[in-house]
Structure 1
Amino acid sequence: MAKPILLHSAAELLQRILGEKIPADRQMEGYFRTHRDMGVRDRGFVAETVYGCLRERRWLEHIAGSALLLDVVAAYLLTHGYSARALEETGFRGDARGMVERARTLDKTTLPFAIQANLPDWLAERLRAQFGDAEALALALALNQPAPVDMRVNTLKAKRDEAQARLAQEGFPCEVTPWSPSGLRRRDRAPVFKTHCFKEGLFEVQDEGSQLLALMLEPRRQEMVVDFCAGAGGKTLHIGALMANTGTVYAFDVLAKRLEKLKPRLRRAGLNNVRMVTISHERDARVQRLEGKIDRVLVDAPCSGTGTLRRNPDIKWRDINLAELTDTQQRILAAAAGLLKPGGRLVYATCSLLKEENEDIVEKFLATHPEFHVVPASEILVRRHVPLSMTGDALRLLPHLHQTDGFYAVTLERKQ
């Protein structure tokens, strides 16, 4: 049974997450640091409850008949195994029995689409327009499920079956991923970062869909490659491994703190072909001096993140300036394209589901850059032994179809 303090703790943490721009996982870390009296089970209860409320907020508000966060938390507990009586015994003074009755008798199919989908109105309408009602709902339901733990094996240090066997020996059996040739998956969350396998650099935690982006780039040994929006460097590490630790990979990012997180990962992976470069913006002099010299560029552009809601359900409740994002994406794509040699390749990718950030950006770019053409994703996937079929030229991954995060990627090549 939940203690009274935990009901209020969950509501308090939920309020912090929804009221600030800091990501939910970092908010939780900070909250638990300042509440050291909470044991492991209590922290687990609060974290699971808060993530559940973030995923199911629209439906829970409907059941609660209220947007008050304490009522939303109560509705979550009542629809996940708690009785009205048990909740009342925690000190809850709301209408617990009324919530139970509403949940029991309500036909979800009669509710407005956005409530069924647990999405804000603006996102629900965009997905309906883009995918149609049936597929949009299937997509939304998949986005509202927790993601598995995907890992990418570091092929510099081990083959996939070797890493899989080592993890099993340490008590963490995994299955192979269906698409990525170096991917492993666990269905439940587990402390894999504590394994000897991880500490020795045999794998990195990375969504299977994200693993396919570096494969789309097809980097070769001894080349000069740029990861234009490297962040903490998950894809940088993959590119460096695909190049067999040869050539040079430039990891660009506007935040030095993000790149700092890449340093220990490089040491663990055994990579020394990566140069980290902090830039002020996409036209930074450190970018411009590489113009016309680069073989391949990955642009994993800053985006709405709507494809990652399985992992980051708080994103959907934040204000998103789509016009500002798409302007930034266009500028970064144009600047990154200028780095390429004749015959060079660029992969433009996002973890967004929205056409405005994907197809529309690429169409505008191609309309003003006739020296570029699209390389069909299907051709690359066949070469890389990825058993995925794509109907269009781009790689489009969706959680309800591919069990990955939502990704879009298109490969562009500069004419010789």
Structure 2
Amino acid sequence: MRLHRNLCFSVIDGLTLIFNEGKYADKVIQQLLKRDKRWGARDRAFVAETTYDIVRWKRLYAEIAEVKEPFDRDNLWRIFAVWATLKGIKLPDWKYFEGTPSRKIKGRFDELSKIRKSKESIPDWMDAIGEKELGAALWTKEIEALNKQADVILRVNTLKTTKEKLQTELFDLDIETDFVPNHPSALKLKERANVFSTEAFKKGFFEVQDASSQLVAEFLNVKPGMRVVDACAGAGGKALHIASLMENKGQVIAMDIYENKLHELKRRAKRNGAHNIENRVIESTKAIKKLYDKADRVLIDAPCSGLGVLRRNPDAKWKLQPDFIDKIKKTQQEILQQYSRMVKVGGQLVYATCSILPSENQEQVKTFLKSEAGTNFTLIKDNKVLAHKSGFDGFYMALLERNS
């Protein structure tokens, strides 16, 4: 591979914004890719994938380069040189790479690969909490899997097409896909491609949604004609899936504290042809109380640490702080206590997170079931999805039924 100056400069500019200014990697990369209309697919892929790669391995590369934050541009070029050397890329004769100690880089990599927190490039506290909650052997396998680049998974919108038809339509565009076993609506791209520019996406034939995330709506046991509440809907990936499983019959009430996210859901629902979704902003507890005892199904896709989705959000490793996890666990329990009251007798509730920590998952469910609000509920089943076993995001979901 030959390095091109303008592409490398874009990566350095992006890393400056992500590491030194705290910008989100996905937003930064979106902006970088608009820089030069002459860039082809390969150029764009280089900028996006290299930036993500260096963000993912920040700690490891910085330790090898012997630089510390905040990184000035010279330090970022040193980190870039480490990335290129370890990838086997020949460094060009640029001033930024003068005196790069290639042999030393490889030696340091071998040394640091014996230390899990350096090898997997994670903060000390994250390594400690992972080992404490999952055990050393399981955590080692899981964090290794969470450092691999995520596949692109599509969820077929069955309101508009079938998996077979969409696969054929994409194949005609030279986008090849595979079915994903035990995921009824999923197609996995064989190679990364810009699926958002396709007519199939513009017509609402699919959404991009990880295979593990797709399991949640299926877990909720929805049927056409039900009243279903998605209580933490966000931009509505799961609400859209629920609407398709309900065949547009019945009512999906999508709720969130952030109005802008529900605006995005409204736009997506229109494209998807999902007509049975009603958005409600949670401005106070009144919005929840109005629905007490009225829902056949309630989905609580709870705010969480997001440790199960590090593959697609590698910068979260550096933004997340241990005190956030303590705070979010309190929020999760408060939401469970309050939102569960929307479930009618005989109805069901799914509590889900994109975390792999038992303290955010099984332990939250146990605490809820022992509480006064939880005495009317029974745990039907749960599903712990780990990245190293599934090959997809880490997720947790528990199905509870209200008995009285």
Unmatched 5+ stretches in structure 2: 69-74
Distance 1:46 1:186 in 2: 20
State the 1:192 CA deviation: 1.3
SS at match of 1:214: helix
**Are positions 1:79 and 2:90 aligned together?**
no
Asked if structure 2 preserves the Cα contact closer than 8 Å seen for 1:3 and 1:90, the reply is: no
Partner of 1:299: 300
Partner of 1:382: none
State the 1:313 CA deviation: 0.3
State the 1:106 CA deviation: 4.7
After TM superposition, list the pairs within 5 Å mapping 1:328-407 onto structure 2: 328-368=331-371, 369-376=374-381, 394-407=382-395
Partner of 2:72: none
Mark the CA change 1:38 to 1:75 in structure 2 (over 3 Å): closer, same or farther: farther
Asked if structure 2 preserves the Cα contact closer than 8 Å seen for 1:177 and 1:183, the reply is: yes
Give per-residue Cα distances to partners, 1:98-142, cap 9 Å, x unaligned.
244331575357632201222111111122223333332221221
Which residue identity lines up with residue 119 of structure 1 in the other structure?
I
SS at match of 2:370: helix
State the 1:297 CA deviation: 0.6
Greater mean deviation of Cα atoms: 3-12 or 114-123: 3-12
State the 1:218 CA deviation: 0.7
Unmatched 5+ stretches in structure 1: 377-393
Which residue identity lines up with residue 39 of structure 2 in the other structure?
G
**TM score, norm. by length of structure 1:** 0.88
**TM score, norm. by length of structure 2:** 0.91
Counterpart among 119, 126, 131 of residue 128 in structure 1: 131
Q: Identity of aligned pairs, percent? A: 37
Partner of 2:234: 231
**Are positions 1:200 and 2:207 aligned together?**
no
Give per-residue Cα distances to partners, 1:63-102, cap 9 Å, x unaligned.
212233332222111111323xx24x12215641x24433
Mark the CA change 1:362 to 1:289 in structure 2 (over 3 Å): closer, same or farther: same
Asked if structure 1 preserves the Cα contact closer than 8 Å seen for 2:231 and 2:300, the reply is: yes
Mark the CA change 1:12 to 1:105 in structure 2 (over 3 Å): closer, same or farther: closer
Distance 1:103 1:279 in 2: 53
State the 1:323 CA deviation: 1.6
Asked if structure 2 preserves the Cα contact closer than 8 Å seen for 1:71 and 1:94, the reply is: no
Distance 1:8 1:163 in 2: 38
State the 1:247 CA deviation: 0.7
Which residue identity lines up with residue 342 of structure 1 in the other structure?
V
Distance 1:130 1:232 in 2: 30
Asked if structure 2 preserves the Cα contact closer than 8 Å seen for 1:78 and 1:100, the reply is: no
Partner of 1:410: 398
State the 1:243 CA deviation: 0.8
Which residue identity lines up with residue 377 of structure 2 in the other structure?
F
After TM superposition, list the pairs within 5 Å mapping 1:2-401 onto structure 2: 2-4=3-5, 6-33=7-34, 35-36=35-36, 39-40=39-40, 42-67=43-68, 68-83=75-90, 86-87=91-92, 89-93=93-97, 95-96=99-100, 98-104=101-107, 106-107=109-110, 111-280=114-283, 283=285, 285-320=286-321, 321-368=324-371, 369-376=374-381, 394-401=382-389
Distance 1:170 1:110 in 2: 41
Mark the CA change 1:112 to 1:272 in structure 2 (over 3 Å): closer, same or farther: same
Partner of 1:391: none
